[in-house]
Structure 1
Amino acid sequence: EIGFDSSRKMMTTFHKVAGKLTSYTKGAPDEILKRCNRILENGKVKRLSPKQKKNILRQNKAFSEKALRVLGFAYNQGKKKVAAEQKMIFVGLQAMIDPPREEVKRAIEKCASAGIKVIMITGDHLVTASAIAKNLGIEGKAIEGKEIVRLDLKAKVEGIGVFARVNPEHKLKIVEALKAKGHIVAMTGDGVNDAPALKQSDIGVSMGITGTDVAKEASSMILTDDNFTSIVSAVEEGRNIYDNIKKFVNYLLSSNMGEVLVLFTAMIIGFTIAGEPVLPLIAIQILWVNLITDGLPALALGVDPPDPKIMQRKPRNPKEHVISKNMLWNIIVIGVLVTVGVLFIFNYGLPQGAEKAQTLALTMLVVLEIVRLEMIRSQYHTGFFSNKWLTMALAVVLVLQLLIIYTPLRSIFHLAPLAWIDWVWIVMIGAAMFAIGKFASLLIRHATHQSD
C-alpha cells in the first residue's frame, strides 16, 4: 500500500488478481487524470484522449457544483511501488454527498452575529468547497492552496473565506497571516502534519475521535465529539463565565466601597448621642454583612445564566481589563449613593437610640446591596428569578436578617425591632437608589462608550 498523502492527494493498494500484481488507486480526480494515459471503456482499455480528459474534468466540476465530493479511480498492472501511480488506466468517478449537519449552519450564523469569522480550510476541490461554503453561509473569496505562494497573503487573508486543496504547510501560513492582522485565531486539525498550525494558533483545537496523538499534544483544546457546534457552545460558555466574573467583582467592590464610605463619612460627620460618638455599624454587624449578606449572593452569581444576547456581541478586546472605566465609575457612584442612603436613615433613627439607628443602617445596607445586585444583572438582560441559586441565596439573606432583628438573636448583634414605618422608609430609599443608579449608569455608559 502507498498511503494517502496530502501532496499527492491519492492512495494506492496492491493485490494479486488472477495471478497478476494489480494496483488500485483512488484520489482527487484532477490528480488521478494527470497520471493516466488510458481509459477502461465498455470493458476495453483504450488510449485516453485530451477530449476525454476534458469531458471527465467537466463532469467532475458539475458534481462539485452540487456540493458533492468526488473521487477518481484508476488501476495498473505489473508495476510496483511509485511506478504503479504512473501511466494508469482510468476507471471512473464516484460522487458522494456528505451533507453538513443542520446545526452547523445555525452555529456559523451564530458565529457571524458574535463577530467571529469562520474560514473553511479543506483538501476538497475548489468548486466543491465553494458550493459547501455557500450552503453553510461562509462568506469570502475562495482560493486554492497553491495560490497562497503567489499571493500577498497578509494583505488578502481577511477577504478570503475558503481555502481549497490545502496542504498542512498552507495552514501554518494562513494562521501566521491572520495573527499578523491582529486576529485571535482558533485552528482545528486532526493529523500529524496539522501540529505546527495548531501550535502556532492562539487556540489549537484537535479532534478527540479522529485526531492523532501528535495533534492532541499540540492543541490547547480537544473536541471530544468532533463537532463544530461544540466549539461555538464553548465560546458562549466562555463569554458567560467572563460575564459572571465581572458581575462578581462589580458586586463585591460596589458593596465594599459603600461600607467603607459609610463608616469613613460617618466618622468625619461625627454622629453623637448624648455627647457620645456613635457609628452606623459596629464590628459584629460589619462581619455579618461581609460573611452573609455579601458572600452568599456573590457565590450564587458564579452560576448566573448567560445573557440572551451574549452571542450578538462583538468579541472583546483581549487587552481589556476586568475592571473597565465604566465599572470603576459605577462602583464609585453607587458607593456614594449607598453612603447617602444609609447615613440618611441612620440619622433618621438616631433620636430613637443607637441600636435602633444601627438596625436601620444595617437593614438599609442589606437592601441596597440587593438593589445593586439587580442593577448589575439587568445590564446583562438577566431575569430576576432566572438563577434559582441566587433566588435561594437572597431568600436566606432576608430570612436571616429578619431573624436577627425580631428574635432574641438581636441582643448578640445589638439591634432593635423595626416598625412598619421604618420598612416604608427603607423601601422608598431602595427604590430611589435603583432609579438614580440606573440613570447614573446610563450617563456613565454614554460617557465611557463601554457597557458592563
Structure 2
Amino acid sequence: TGERTEIGKIARKTEKERETETPLLKKMKKLGKRIFFAILVVSTFNFLIGVYRGYSFDFTFLASVGLAVAAIPESLPALVTMILAMGVRDMASRKAVVRRLPAVETLGSVTTICTDKTGTLTRNKMKVVKVFAGSKEYDADVVGEVDVREVRMTLLAGYICNKAIYREEDGEYIISGDPMEIALLEVAAKAGIRERDWKTIDEIPFDPAIRFMATAVEEDGIAMVYAKGAPERIIAMCSHAMVKGKPIRIDAEYLNRVAEDFASRGMRILAFAYKPADAEGFKIKEHVSDMIFLGFQCMIDPPRKESYEAVKKCKEAGVRVVMVTGDHPATALAIARELGIEGKVLTGEDVEKMSDEEFATGIGVFARVLPEHKLRIVRALQKRKEIVAVTGDGVNDAPALKAADIGVAMGSGTEVAKEASDMVIIDDNFATIVAAIEEGRKVFKKIQKVLAWTLPTNGGEGLAIFSAFLIGLALPILPIQILWINTVTALLLGTTLVFEPANELKKPTKGELLSREIVVRIGWVSLLMVLGAYFLFFSQENDVAARTAAMNTIVFFEIFYLLSARNLDKSFFAALKRKNPAILPGILAMIVLQVIVAQTQTWLQATPLSIFTWIEILAVSSLVLILSELAKLKKF
C-alpha cells in the first residue's frame, strides 16, 4: 500500500525530479544581475563625482537616483510577461495549451524532441491487415472465409485478451477502448466471433516490463489460458506451435524471422498463444510457460499526413527528432525512415548495457523502451547540453516529463502526465508540437526586440545625467522629466513591440538574449541619443527651453529607433510589410502628448518650442533610424 505500490514508486520518482529552470529564466536572471550591478556602480560613481565637484548633497542624491531610474528598464518585466501571455494565446489557438508561462520561450530553444510513435507521429487508427498462423499468411479481409483451426484460435485469443468494447446495438456499433484492441475485436467480428458467456477466472494485466498479458477462461471445466504480447516474448513462452490443427515442436528462430519481416514492412505485430489446464486450484502464473504458439496479427497504423512536413520542418529548423516507442525495432525503424527520421535504432535492452555517452548521439529510434529508459534518455541528452522536449501520456511517463526541459503531455493522456508536463497537446499531433516550437522562437525574437529597444533608450537617458556630472555640465533633463519619459514611452511605444509579428527562425534560440550585435547597438544608440540631446540643449536661449528641447529630442529618438527595432535583421521598409496594429496609434499618441506637454505643462518645467526647434528635433532624432538602417546594410 501507499508508497510501496507502483503508483507510489512513480510518485517518489516524480518528486525526486526537480523542475528544470527554463533557459529564459536563466537568461533573465543573468541579465538582471548584470544590469543591477552596472547601474549600482554607475549611480554610486555619479554620486561621488557630484560630491567631489561640490554640488549640494540633496541635488547630487536626487540626480543619482534619477540616473538609476532612467537606466533601469522597469517596463521590461511587464513587456516580457505580455509577450509570453500572447505566446500562450497563440499556442492555444494551435491546440497547444501551455501550463507554465516561461515554457513558451523554452519551446523556441528546443534542440531535440523525444516523441512517441503511436498516436503522435501516426494516426492511432489501427487495422489488422495480415494474420499469420500455421506457417501461412492470410489477408485479414478474408479470414471469415478461412476454416483453419489455428487461424480462428489466433482471432479468438485476440478477442479474449481484450478490454475494449465493440458491439452492435440497434444497427449501430458501440466502440470504446484502446485502438489496438478495437482492431482485434473488429477482425474477430469478421470471422464471426461474437460475445459469449466466458467466465474469466484469472488474468495477468499487460505490463510494459513483461510485454504480455494473459487471460484465463473456463470452458467445460477446463481452464484455457490465452496470452497476447510482443512476438519475441510470446515465442519465448512457447514450447510448441499449432500447425494444421495440431501442436508441433516450435521453431522459434523461424517465427522470429517472420515477425521481423512483418515489422520491417511497418506493421505492428502481436503474437498469441494458449494453454489448456485443469480448472481446479488454478493459478494463471503457473501456466504462462510451455504454451502453444497460435500466430500473429499484424496491424498498420499509418503516419499522419502532417507528420511528414513536421519532421521536415524540424530538420530545417535545426531540431533533431528522436522516436521513443515500445514497438518492435523493425516496425519503429520502418515508420521512422518513411517520415525521414534519421539515425540508428536501439532497444531498451541495448540502452541498459550502454553508457549515456554511447546512446546520446547518432540514435534516431529507441524501441521496446520502458518509462525508466525514457527518463535516462532525457538525462543523457541534457548532459550533452541539449534542450529536450519529451512527449508522454501514461502515469509512468511522469518522471521523464518532469525531468525534461519541456514536458509535453497528450490531451488523451492521464491527469498525472498532464500535471507533470509544461504543455498539453490537445490533438495528440506531432505537427502541433512543431507549431508550438515555431511560436516559441517568435516569442524569443520579440523579447530580443524589446531588449534592443528598451536598453539603448534607457541607457541614453542615464548617460545624459552621468555625462553631465562627469564633464561638469548642466543637466540636460531633470529627474521628473526622466520619470515622465520612462512612463509614457514604456506605455505608448514599448508595448507596441508586443504586437509585432515575428519573423521565423531557422535555428534553435540557444544564444544569449543580448547578442553581440545588440550590445553594440546599446552603446552607439545611447551615445548618439546623448549627443543629440546636448545639441538641442545648447541651441536654446534659456534652461527651460533647453531642457524641453532635450526631453523631446530623447522622446523622438525613441520613436525613430522603434521603427528600426521592429526588425533587427531586415530593413525598415521590409518591416512595413508586416502589419502591427498598435505601432501607428502608439506613435501618434506619443507625438500628440509631447506637443501638448511642451505647450501647456509647467509642472514638467516645459515651455512651448518654435517650429524651427521642432524641425531641428526631428532632423537630429531621425539620425538614429538612418544609421541603424545603414548598419543593417553593412551586416549583409
User: Shorter-chain TM-score: what band?
Assistant: 0.7 to 0.9
Retained in 1: the 8 A contact 2:441–2:508? no
AA aligned to 1:121 is: V
1:426 & 1:369 partners in 2: Cα distance? 12
AA aligned to 2:323 is: M
Taking a change above 3 Å as real, the CA distance of residues 411 and 122 of structure 1, as seen in their structure-2 partners, is: closer
- Counterpart for residue 9 of structure 1: 211
- Counterpart for residue 415 of structure 1: 607
AA aligned to 1:403 is: I
Q: Does 1:379 align with 2:568?
A: yes
Taking a change above 3 Å as real, the CA distance of residues 286 and 196 of structure 1, as seen in their structure-2 partners, is: closer
1:343 & 1:418 partners in 2: Cα distance? 18
AA aligned to 1:368 is: F
Query: How far off its partner does 1:389 sit?
Result: 2.7
Retained in 2: the 8 A contact 1:410–1:416? no
Counting only pairs closer than 5 Å after superposition, residues 433-448 of structure 1 correspond to structure 2 as: 433-439=624-630
Match of 2:246 among 34, 39, 45: 45
Query: How far off its partner does 1:337 sit?
Result: 0.8
- Helix, strand or coil at the partner of 1:209: coil
Query: How far off its partner does 1:363 sit?
Result: 3.1
Taking a change above 3 Å as real, the CA distance of residues 23 and 196 of structure 1, as seen in their structure-2 partners, is: same
Retained in 2: the 8 A contact 1:266–1:343? no
Q: Which moved more, 1:201-210 or 1:109-118?
A: 201-210
Query: How far off its partner does 1:438 sit?
Result: 4.2
- Counterpart for residue 253 of structure 1: 455
Which protein has greater RCO, CA pairs closer than 8 Å, 6+ apart? 2
Match of 2:554 among 356, 359, 365: 365
- Counterpart for residue 449 of structure 1: none
2:604 & 2:354 partners in 1: Cα distance? 78
Taking a change above 3 Å as real, the CA distance of residues 418 and 68 of structure 1, as seen in their structure-2 partners, is: farther
2:603 & 2:250 partners in 1: Cα distance? 104
Q: RMSD of the TM alignment (CA)?
A: 3.3
Q: Does 1:145 align with 2:348?
A: yes
- Counterpart for residue 620 of structure 2: 429
Taking a change above 3 Å as real, the CA distance of residues 196 and 361 of structure 1, as seen in their structure-2 partners, is: closer
- Counterpart for residue 591 of structure 2: 398
Counting only pairs closer than 5 Å after superposition, residues 151-170 of structure 1 correspond to structure 2 as: 151-170=354-373
Q: Does 1:289 align with 2:485?
A: yes
- Counterpart for residue 330 of structure 1: 521
Taking a change above 3 Å as real, the CA distance of residues 252 and 27 of structure 1, as seen in their structure-2 partners, is: same
1:201 & 1:409 partners in 2: Cα distance? 55
Q: Does 1:110 align with 2:313?
A: yes
Q: Deviations over 1:327-378 (max 9, x none)?
A: 3332121111112223223434x15x55554444333322210222233221
Match of 2:266 among 41, 47, 67: 67
Structure 1: unaligned runs, 5 residues or longer: 272-276, 447-452
- Helix, strand or coil at the partner of 1:291: helix
- Counterpart for residue 274 of structure 1: none
Taking a change above 3 Å as real, the CA distance of residues 48 and 426 of structure 1, as seen in their structure-2 partners, is: farther
Residue identity over aligned pairs, in percent, reads 37
Structure 1's consecutive aligned runs of 4 or more residues displaced over 6 angstroms after TM superposition are 267-271
Taking a change above 3 Å as real, the CA distance of residues 12 and 395 of structure 1, as seen in their structure-2 partners, is: farther
1:20 & 1:414 partners in 2: Cα distance? 101
1:187 & 1:143 partners in 2: Cα distance? 18
TM-score under structure 2 normalisation? 0.60
- Counterpart for residue 4 of structure 2: none
- Counterpart for residue 119 of structure 1: 322
AA aligned to 2:222 is: K
AA aligned to 1:257 is: G
Query: How far off its partner does 1:413 sit?
Result: 5.7
Retained in 1: the 8 A contact 2:554–2:621? no
Retained in 1: the 8 A contact 2:444–2:509? no
Retained in 2: the 8 A contact 1:185–1:201? yes
- Counterpart for residue 25 of structure 1: 227
Structure 2: unaligned runs, 5 residues or longer: 1-202
1:315 & 1:336 partners in 2: Cα distance? 29
Q: Deviations over 1:117-173 (max 9, x none)?
A: 221111111111111111222111112222223334413421111111122332233
Retained in 2: the 8 A contact 1:15–1:23? yes
Taking a change above 3 Å as real, the CA distance of residues 97 and 433 of structure 1, as seen in their structure-2 partners, is: same
Taking a change above 3 Å as real, the CA distance of residues 437 and 262 of structure 1, as seen in their structure-2 partners, is: farther
AA aligned to 1:123 is: G
The number of residue pairs the alignment matches comes to 426
- Helix, strand or coil at the partner of 2:608: coil
Taking a change above 3 Å as real, the CA distance of residues 265 and 151 of structure 1, as seen in their structure-2 partners, is: closer
Retained in 1: the 8 A contact 2:225–2:284? no
- Helix, strand or coil at the partner of 1:2: strand
Query: How far off its partner does 1:325 sit?
Result: 4.5
- Counterpart for residue 179 of structure 1: 382
Q: Does 1:316 align with 2:510?
A: yes
2:207 & 2:392 partners in 1: Cα distance? 16
- Counterpart for residue 121 of structure 2: none
Q: Deviations over 1:184-209 (max 9, x none)?
A: 33333333433443444444434342
